[in-house]
Chains A and B, each alone.
Chain A
Amino acid sequence: MQKRNFDPPVRASCLAKPECLSSLLEMLDRYCIQNQVDSDCQHDLHLIAEEACFNIISYAYPVGAPGRLSLQVEARDCTDGPLIEITIEDDGIPFDPLALHLTDRTAPVEQIAAGGLGVLLVRRLSDLQQYMHDSERGNVLTIGKFISREKDS
């Protein structure tokens, strides 16, 4: 399979505050456009990143004391095809979102909890998910999605 040329990875860090989320997502969107990722994949990657980052903004740090939130985006060729890998780090309380129990969506609507929707979307819209906690890097969530490129015009 012919390998494609992708831009080097991009990375940004900010405080885990709602007003900082847009700049991280814009970086992701620009990277996808520059690497000609098709629009459906761009949409899914934007959603995945928003969900993962906003969970950190909401829960990782004590109220009023936001810490670091980092986002890295990298496109690369894998044996199974081209992939966009999103890596999100924070220094908050150790927490594995992939271990979260997801609510039963078949229950009557009055009993359905709103919690877990973001994690559900991250899992279902992505192809690879990995979590680790590292003493230096903190919580590290890595999400991979196989991509296709926009057709040449």
Chain B
Amino acid sequence: METSITERDTVTVVAIRGSVDSLNAEQLTTAFAVPIQAGRTRLVADFGAVTYTSSAGLRSLLATVKDCRRLGGDLRIAALQPQVERVLSISGFTSIIKIFSDCEGAVESFRAAT
């Protein structure tokens, strides 16, 4: 799994590539923690290149959305692949975290809220 970070004005986009599983989910949590620790709590997780996630990935998302919201921000998800979206839906995460069909829409949703 690889991650990359892009700043879009007040929003930080964390793009993820590959599989998120029990062996590497901690890397994802660490990637999210970098902007949060810098005070940037409006995050978009770009899942367009994520092919698989297990509960470890879900736990990383849950911890991150809790941290962001506690600090007045949010974590939103973009571009879920069908199998990954199904896992989030089955586990109830689609009602916990806002999901967008593309990254631009997710980024824009933060601007619309201000």
Q: Mark B57-74, 1 if CB is under 8 A from A, else 0.
A: 011001101100110000
Asked if B55 is at the interface (CB within 8 A of a chain A CB), the reply is yes
When chains A and B are docked, how far (Å) is the Cα of A118 from the Cα of B53? 11
A window 15-43: CB within 8 A of B: 18, 21-22, 40, 43
Residues of B in contact with A, size category: 20 to 34
B window 4-55: CB within 8 A of A: 21-23, 52, 54-55
B90 touches A121 (CB 8 A): yes
Asked if B91 is at the interface (CB within 8 A of a chain A CB), the reply is yes
B62 touches A114 (CB 8 A): yes
* A54-B91 contact, Cβ under 8 Å, with A109-B62, A109-B96, A110-B66: no
A105 touches B92 (CB 8 A): yes
Residues of A in contact with B, size category: 20 to 34
A43 touches B52 (CB 8 A): yes
Asked if A14 is at the interface (CB within 8 A of a chain B CB), the reply is no
Contacts of A114 in B (CB 8 A): 58-59, 62-63
A window 34-75: CB within 8 A of B: 40, 43, 46-47, 50-51, 54, 57
When chains A and B are docked, how far (Å) is the Cα of A55 from the Cα of B63? 19
Minimum CB distance partner of B70 in chain A: A110
Asked if B95 is at the interface (CB within 8 A of a chain A CB), the reply is yes
Starting from the known contacts A54-B54, A54-B56, A125-B90, 5 additional A-B residue pairs (CB-CB under 8 Å) come to A18-B22, A43-B52, A50-B21, A109-B96, A121-B54
Residues of A near any B CB (own CB < 8 A): 18, 21-22, 40, 43, 46-47, 50-51, 54, 57, 105-106, 109-110, 112, 114, 117-118, 120-121, 124-125
Q: Please, could you name 6 A-B residue pairs with CB atoms under 8 Å apart, sorted by A?
A: A50-B22, A51-B54, A54-B56, A114-B63, A120-B55, A121-B55
